[in-house]
């Protein structure tokens, strides 16, 4: 939907045909092939385990390549444009393309161990930070900015009304792309992520509220004078509802980023409800509206049925509301139950985790009904589409455009013209000074504060004295696609640099707090890869937060050092099962064996799937030497080990576990996968204390 909307609107907004039909076709078929590859590899357990970044490394390279194809096609078209000035939709498309490329590449940096498996170059807290810098902004720049651009084209077209405010477009575009990037750490609130990053993530998420609503306002207020058309036009119905869902979701986002609210909502269905309000409401309904608007134009034939489109709208709307409401109730119920204490706050009110799961079962049924209705709506669309285009020919014509005279030399902004002017310099100074104030010590901090204040005062004065000049400069910038793209990239790169570089550069010792985890033995590492393969992280976190209920339920809170050798990190983001950070040693080996074979034989009412094949399949030991070599390269302290030594270590430890099981009356051969997984689970939570001096 996004690519179609961008390709369709860009050609018309810049008065130029797409640069290359070959690239367009390559983009389309390449993307389809990636989807097929994903649908095959993920169910088979080939996964990197990072959210929205699960695909294995060969597919990662394909995605990056196809994205570059898209970028080349887009910018090439821009270069051949006959409309010198860039419309606001194009700004958002530019931001999308450069930012997604940056995020995707950094978060997918990995070292392969085989054709289908790799370890990410970041581990522990660094991996967590990079992942959520990516994960949060994948939502921002894959699901928000391109859709905003599409809104800026299709909504005024469908409403036949002027866009509400150009200056709101300018302000909300730049504030949105700049601030969004900083907000990633709000996915890691109350964890062992360093405090300053949590505070940055929370406060910038709150500051993101107004810029997000700027987009909603420009959408909804553009409908002023066209509201009566909503009664008859399903396209506008979809757009108005979609923009409203965008407003709801972008209010809910900052709310959930407040640390105390997050303590309740994190790891529950509330978060899932939040993203689905955005995905089903905002993205889905924008897509539906766009399709209903485009169909008659692309096939030069009226839509087969307006009534069916209206039916789609209402079933979809009811579906979303049921779905999201169910997730809210479910998330808040589970959050309250998990955090509730009794006997004067000294013990958990619901010590049995299963109680919290069984309480939300009715909500899962609601969720299925809501999602089902939503899906039915799309089937109605598919039928409507098929009836509309059946027997019709696609429009294959050309449009004559009035090309303004090519940009004169005096509209060119070179490097100097783009960078050395008041608005850009003031923004750079303000960001720099604010960073010094936040992260500097003592005098540096004070200097940063003073500098930031002076910049604000100077900026305010200049705005009033030279506002018109700035306006002229910005209009000229819109004639210069390359400088515009460079400035956008600088704006989005700033937040990431300031958060990630210190965390990656800092010595590992400073990231440990007072503990360091004991590195995994080869068998445990193999078990960990099984844990990733089976997707255990989707329901089990490994991060005990700095909150009383978490500590009462799972044990002492997690320290940074306790996941420092975890490539990839497994902190998790949803608890459909209990946290496992300190599960090691809590139960005997045979407990884990029985629990994996049939969870309900141990925990009555558990909804965990059974994993019987783990007791049947033999462990892949042959790949371990390559894996351990990569881990050693990444900085995990494995001594020099020959493959034979690795195999011997695996055998010895596996025999020990098999003996434990035999003593408890269970007979499992030591070569089986379950043995490795038990070894891993029993290792979780083992650490050695470190003193700061020793760490340095």
Partner 1 sequence: MTNAPKTPPPEDPIREHTYDGIQEYDKRLPNWWLFTLYATIVFWIGYWFYYETSGIGPRDTAVLAAELERIEAAKLAAAADLLDDGTLWQMSRNSVFVQAGRATFNSTCASCHKESLRGAEDGGIGASLVDGTWVHGGRPTEIFAVVDKGVLEKGMPAWGPIIGAKKTAEVVAYILSHHEEAK
Residues 342-361 that bind partner 1 (CB under 8 A): 342-348, 351-352, 354-355
Our CB check for partner 1 shows the closer of 225 and 414 to be 225
How many CB atoms sit inside 10 A of residue 640's CB? 6
- Does residue number 181 form part of the binding site for partner 1 (CB under 8 A)? no
Our CB check for partner 1 shows the closer of 12 and 574 to be 12
* Kind and range of the H or E run holding 256: helix 234-256
Distance in angstroms (rounded) separating the CA atoms of residues 366 and 632: 48
Our CB check for partner 1 shows the closer of 163 and 494 to be 163
CB of 664 to partner 1, least distance (A): 7
The SS3 assignment for 426 reads helix
- Does residue number 557 form part of the binding site for partner 1 (CB under 8 A)? yes
CB of 166 to partner 1, least distance (A): 4
Q: Site residues for partner 1, window 185-204 (CB under 8 A)?
A: 190, 195-196, 199, 202-204
CB of 11 to partner 1, least distance (A): 9
Q: Is 505 exposed, middle or buried (0-12, 13-18, 19+ CB in 10 A)?
A: exposed
CB of 488 to partner 1, least distance (A): 19
- Does residue number 515 form part of the binding site for partner 1 (CB under 8 A)? no
Q: Site residues for partner 1, window 436-465 (CB under 8 A)?
A: 437-438, 445
Our CB check for partner 1 shows the closer of 10 and 96 to be 10
Size of the site for partner 1 (CB under 8 A): 74
403 token code pair: 């090309």
Q: Site residues for partner 1, window 251-270 (CB under 8 A)?
A: 254
- Does residue number 166 form part of the binding site for partner 1 (CB under 8 A)? yes
- Does residue number 225 form part of the binding site for partner 1 (CB under 8 A)? yes
Our CB check for partner 1 shows the closer of 369 and 449 to be 449
Our CB check for partner 1 shows the closer of 66 and 181 to be 181
Judged by CB under 8 A, which stretch of 236-244, 325-333, 385-393, 542-550 contacts partner 1?
542-550
Distance in angstroms (rounded) separating the CA atoms of residues 47 and 55: 6
Distance in angstroms (rounded) separating the CA atoms of residues 13 and 616: 60
- Does residue number 664 form part of the binding site for partner 1 (CB under 8 A)? yes
Q: Is 267 exposed, middle or buried (0-12, 13-18, 19+ CB in 10 A)?
A: buried
Our CB check for partner 1 shows the closer of 515 and 632 to be 515
DSSP structure class, residue 120: E
Among 85, 356, 521, 558, binds partner 1 (CB under 8 A): 85
The SS3 assignment for 38 reads helix
CB of 28 to partner 1, least distance (A): 23
Rg (CA), the chain: 27
- Bridge partners, residue 507, by sequence: none
Contact between residue 28 and residue 66 where contact means Cβ atoms under 8 Å apart: no
Our CB check for partner 1 shows the closer of 213 and 383 to be 213
- Which alpha helices (DSSP H) does 266-305 contain, by range? 269-276, 285-299
Q: Site residues for partner 1, window 12-31 (CB under 8 A)?
A: 12-13, 15
- Does residue number 228 form part of the binding site for partner 1 (CB under 8 A)? yes
Category of 265 on φ-ψ map: left (φ > 0), alpha (ψ -120 to 50) or beta: alpha
CB of 224 to partner 1, least distance (A): 8
Judged by CB under 8 A, which stretch of 25-33, 213-221, 421-429, 675-683 contacts partner 1?
213-221
- Does residue number 311 form part of the binding site for partner 1 (CB under 8 A)? no
Distance in angstroms (rounded) separating the CA atoms of residues 317 and 28: 30
Site string for partner 1, 575-594 (x = CB under 8 A): ----------xxxx-xx--x
Among 46, 87, 293, 571, binds partner 1 (CB under 8 A): 87
Judged by CB under 8 A, which stretch of 208-216, 267-275, 307-315, 573-581 contacts partner 1?
208-216
Which is nearest to 550 in space by CA: 347, 339, 333? 339
Which is nearest to 540 in space by CA: 353, 332, 675, 326? 353
DSSP structure class, residue 672: B
How many CB atoms sit inside 10 A of residue 621's CB? 18
Category of 685 on φ-ψ map: left (φ > 0), alpha (ψ -120 to 50) or beta: left
Our CB check for partner 1 shows the closer of 45 and 225 to be 225
Q: Site residues for partner 1, window 123-162 (CB under 8 A)?
A: 153, 156-157, 162
Torsion on CA atoms 190, 192, 197, 202, rounded to nearest 10: -10
DSSP structure class, residue 506: S
Judged by CB under 8 A, which stretch of 18-26, 43-51, 79-87, 530-538 contacts partner 1?
79-87
Contact between residue 571 and residue 191 where contact means Cβ atoms under 8 Å apart: yes
DSSP structure class, residue 51: T
């Amino acid at each position: 939907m996004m690519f179609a909307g961008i390709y369709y609107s860009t050609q018309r907004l810049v008065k130029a045909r797409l640069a290359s039909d070959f690239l367009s076709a390559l983009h389309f078929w390449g993307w389809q092939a990636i989807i097929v590859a994903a649908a095959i590899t993920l169910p088979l357990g080939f996964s990197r385990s990072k959210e929205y970044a699960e695909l294995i490394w060969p597919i990662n390279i394909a995605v990056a390549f196809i994205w570059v194809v898209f970028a080349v096609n887009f910018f090439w078209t821009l270069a051949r444009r006959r409309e010198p000035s860039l419309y606001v939709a194009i700004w958002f498309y530019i931001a999308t393309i450069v930012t997604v490329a940056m995020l995707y590449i950094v978060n997918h940096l990995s070292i392969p161990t085989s054709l289908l498996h790799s370890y990410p170059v970041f581990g522990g807290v660094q991996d967590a930070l990079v992942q959520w810098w990516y994960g949060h902004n994948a939502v921002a720049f894959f699901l928000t900015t391109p859709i905003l651009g599409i809104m800026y084209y299709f909504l005024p077209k469908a409403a036949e009304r002027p866009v509400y405010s150009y200056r709101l477009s300018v302000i909300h575009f730049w504030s949105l792309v700049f601030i969004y990037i900083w907000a990633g750490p709000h996915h890691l609130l109350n964890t062992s992520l360093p405090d300053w990053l949590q505070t940055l993530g929370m406060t910038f998420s709150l500051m993101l509220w107004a810029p997000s609503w700027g987009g909603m306002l420009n959408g909804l207020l553009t409908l002023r004078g066209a509201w009566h058309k909503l009664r008859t036009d399903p396209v506008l119905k979809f757009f108005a509802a979609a923009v409203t869902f965008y407003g709801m979701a972008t209010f809910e986002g900052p709310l959930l980023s407040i640390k105390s609210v997050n303590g309740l909502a994190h790891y529950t269905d509330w978060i899932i409800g939040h993203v689905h309000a955005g995905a089903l409401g905002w993205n889905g309904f924008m897509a539906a509206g766009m399709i209903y608007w485009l169909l008659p134009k692309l096939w030069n034939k009226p839509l087969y049925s307006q009534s069916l489109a209206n039916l789609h709208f209402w079933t979809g709307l009811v579906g979303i509301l049921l779905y999201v409401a169910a997730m809210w109730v479910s998330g808040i119920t589970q959050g309250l139950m998990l955090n509730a204490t009794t006997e004067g706050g000294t013990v958990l009110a619901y010590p049995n985790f299963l109680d919290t799961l069984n309480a939300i079962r009715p909500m899962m049924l609601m969720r299925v009904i809501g999602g089902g209705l939503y899906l039915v709506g799309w089937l109605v669309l598919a039928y409507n589409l098929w009836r509309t285009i059946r027997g019709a020919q696609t429009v294959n014509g050309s449009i004559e455009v009035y090309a303004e005279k090519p940009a004169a030399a005096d509209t060119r902004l070179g490097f100097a013209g783009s960078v050395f002017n008041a608005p850009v310099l003031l923004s750079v100074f303000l960001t720099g000074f604010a960073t010094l104030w936040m992260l500097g010590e003592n005098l540096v901090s004070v200097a940063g504060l003073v500098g930031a204040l002076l910049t604000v005062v100077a900026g305010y004065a200049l705005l009033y004295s030279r506002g018109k000049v700035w306006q002229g400069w910005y209009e000229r910038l819109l004639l210069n696609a390359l400088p515009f793209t460079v400035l956008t990239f600088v704006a989005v790169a700033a937040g990431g640099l300031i958060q990630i570089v210190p965390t990656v550069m800092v010595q590992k010792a400073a990231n440990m707090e007072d503990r360091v985890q004991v590195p995994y033995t080869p068998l445990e590492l193999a078990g960990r890869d099984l844990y990733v393969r089976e997707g255990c992280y989707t329901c089990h976190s490994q991060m005990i937060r700095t909150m009383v209920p978490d500590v009462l339920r799972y044990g002492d809170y997690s320290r940074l050092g306790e996941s420092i050798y975890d490539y990839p990190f497994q902190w998790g983001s949803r608890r459909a099962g209990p946290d496992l950070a300190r599960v090691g040693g809590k139960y005997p080996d045979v407990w884990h064996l029985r629990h994996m074979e049939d969870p309900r034989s141990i925990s009555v009412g558990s909804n965990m799937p059974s994993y019987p094949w783990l007791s049947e399949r033999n462990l892949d030991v042959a790949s371990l030497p390559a894996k351990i070599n990569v881990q050693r390269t990444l900085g995990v302290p494995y001594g020099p080990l020959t493959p034979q030594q690795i195999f011997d270590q695996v055998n010895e430890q596996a025999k020990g576990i098999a003996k434990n099981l035999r003593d408890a009356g269970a007979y499992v051969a030591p070569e089986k996968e379950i043995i490795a997984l038990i070894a891993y689970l029993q290792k979780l939570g083992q650490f050695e204390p470190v003193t700061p001096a020793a760490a340095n």
